[in-house]
Amino acid sequence: MATSKHYSRRGLIMMAGTSGLLAACGQVSLDQVAGADIDEGAFGNPTFNNHLAQTGQVNARISLARKFAESVPTTVNFAFDSAVIDAEAQQAIRAQADFMRQFPEVKFSVYGHTDAVGGEASNLRLGRKRARAVVRALGQFGVSARRLEALVSFGERQLLVQTDDRERANRRTVTEVSGFVESDPMVLDGQYATLINRNYVASQVPSE
């Protein structure tokens, strides 16, 4: 039985605005309630987010996320039912690591995804396994583990190509800017403008 939902005009505007902010941050989740990133129901976090906005951290994060996405491939693809990093994936990870080493104040998250073949529970495990494989590979290319996390997996819930069949585009990880190393001197001094304007110089890591 179909269920209809009715939203007020104000509610639709608020949802659209929140979705735009989340998309700009590169943290959109199809499972997440609109506005949850800003106010999760606790008293303190909305104030904390407001502090981040006033100190420039939110704008810096958005700008660096854009710079990262424009500079290197953020997606790594996998073979069916596999978390093995092939030659094409390794090349993308090298490029990501090169960027990360030039911006040591920045933290990153790796999100694992699968296609729609198989059960949801197994796909969630596979997505997380893929994310962890990429994090390990980034570590091998000189990126500190304290700047990386592979704690989130969307399994089959965020398909790029809407199909129930095997689809390589859906079998992927996505690496995104997630924040800053809080103990870094530049972050402590609020030097976000300097950080954003730092030039990224493309180079390749020599093969081991």
Read off the pLDDT of residues 39-53 as tens digits, 9 standing for 90 and up.
Answer: 444 445 554 445 455
Residue 14: per-residue pLDDT: 39
Q: What pLDDT digit, counting tens, does each position of 13-45 carry?
A: 333 443 343 344 444 333 332 333 434 444 455
Q: What's the total number of domains in the chain? A: 2
CA angle 176-179-184, nearest 5°?
130
- Could you tell me if 38 and 101 lie in one domain? no
- Could you tell me if 67 and 41 lie in one domain? no
- Could you tell me if 20 and 74 lie in one domain? no
- Could you tell me if 186 and 93 lie in one domain? yes
- Could you tell me if 43 and 74 lie in one domain? no
- Could you tell me if 91 and 31 lie in one domain? no
Reported for 48-56, long-range contacts at CB under 8 A and 24+ positions apart, including other chains, are 55/190, 56/190, 56/192, 56/193
Residue at 203 is within a domain: no
- Could you tell me if 84 and 143 lie in one domain? yes
| pLDDT surpasses 70 at 104 | yes
- Could you tell me if 66 and 45 lie in one domain? no
- Could you tell me if 135 and 95 lie in one domain? yes
Q: Which domain holds residue 44?
A: 10-54
Residue at 202 is within a domain: no
